[in-house]
Amino acid sequence: DGGITQSPKYLFRKEGQNVTLSCEQNLNHDAMYWYRQDPGQGLRLIYYSHIVNDFQKGDIAEGYSVSREKKESFPLTVTSAQKNPTAFYLCASSIQGIGNEQFFGPGTRLTVL
């Protein structure tokens, strides 16, 4: 099956800890994205990558970091510098070029205890 997987589904973190969220895709998409969703709100872009070994900050990158060492993988680290990390995190991917429909993974719900 082709698709996007995210793990874990639920993640609990103590204050001051860094945590890493996994995102893997087997769609052979070049571009990958991380979004954050808060209750009752739309999604906001954290980071994106259009090619391996390159990534760009989105609208709310502070307190987050990413890497893109492989085409299939785009992990997101939520650092202790992120002041309000409790949220639903969604990963997406798309082919490059005009008409790049984005496809989403099932999401990871992060709760800070």
Residues near another protein (CB under 8 A) are 6, 33, 35, 40-45, 48, 50, 56, 58, 88, 90, 92, 98-107, 109
- Closest by CA to 24, choosing from 79, 68, 77, 78, is 68
DSSP state letters, 14-39 = -TT--EEEEEEE-S--SEEEEEEE-T
Smallest distance, another protein to C-beta of residue 57, A: 10
Smallest distance, another protein to C-beta of residue 25, A: 13
The number of CA neighbours under 13 Å toward the Cβ of 24 is: 7
6 vs 82 by CB, closer to another protein: 6
22 vs 80 by CB, closer to another protein: 22
